[in-house]
């Protein structure tokens, strides 16, 4: 799926870990290491992250796994997992999010984006806040 051979991607945790995108590492690796270390963290995981392909590009991965065996100390000795390349669906999602955030005609931030941002500022109790928008058709709105 990623273009590696058994020689370039040995079946070791470190082989997998070094190919995870730096921005995703903190959300993926510690969680999985915790699950491996102790049943107190559960026996299953599911996460999405980017992995480097053999050609240097990044693939979006949906990773799911289950601990199937632990030693007497509770550490996982066998984990079975499934990686699915979800790059195409992630690209579609990013495109749709961009359409929601930006006006397709002007490329400027959309009313939906401004409404969401105002809601975030409201939750943070940032005061005072005012957002005014003007449409290219002469219409306007205020949040």
Q: pLDDT tens digits, residue range 48-104? A: 999 999 999 999 999 999 999 999 999 999 999 888 998 877 767 767 777 778 777
- Cα separation, 26 vs 29, in Å, equals 6
- Structure confidence at residue 90 (pLDDT): 75
In degrees, rounded to 5, the angle at the alpha carbon of residue 140 between the alpha carbons of residues 137 and 143 is 150
**What is the tens place of the pLDDT at every residue in 99-142?**
778 777 777 888 778 788 888 888 888 777 776 766 666 666 65
> Where does the pLDDT of residue 143 fall: very low under 50, low under 70, confident under 90, or very high at 90 and above?
low
pTM score, two decimals? Answer: 0.61
* Cα 31 versus chain centre, distance: 14
Report DSSP state, residue 39.
Answer: G
16 or 90, which is more confident = 16
Order of all β-strands in the sheet with 58-70: 44-52, 58-70, 76-85
Radius of gyration of the chain (CA): 22
Residue spans of beta strands (DSSP E) within 38-111 = 44-52, 58-70, 76-85
């Amino acid at each position: 799926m990623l273009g590696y051979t058994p020689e370039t991607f040995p079946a070791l945790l470190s082989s997998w870990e070094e190919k995870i995108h730096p921005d995703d590492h903190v959300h993926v690796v510690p969680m999985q290491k915790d699950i491996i270390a102790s049943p107190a963290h559960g026996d299953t995981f599911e996460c999405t992250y980017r992995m480097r392909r053999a050609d240097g590009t990044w693939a979006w991965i949906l990773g799911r796994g289950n601990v199937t065996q632990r030693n007497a100390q509770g550490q996982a000795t066998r984990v079975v997992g499934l990686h699915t390349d979800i790059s195409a669906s992630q690209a579609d999602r990013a495109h749709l999010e961009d359409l929601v955030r930006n006006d397709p005609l002007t490329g400027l931030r959309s009313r939906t984006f401004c409404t969401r941002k105002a809601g975030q500022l409201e939750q943070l109790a940032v005061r005072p806040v005012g957002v005014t928008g003007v449409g290219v058709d002469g219409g306007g709105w205020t949040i």
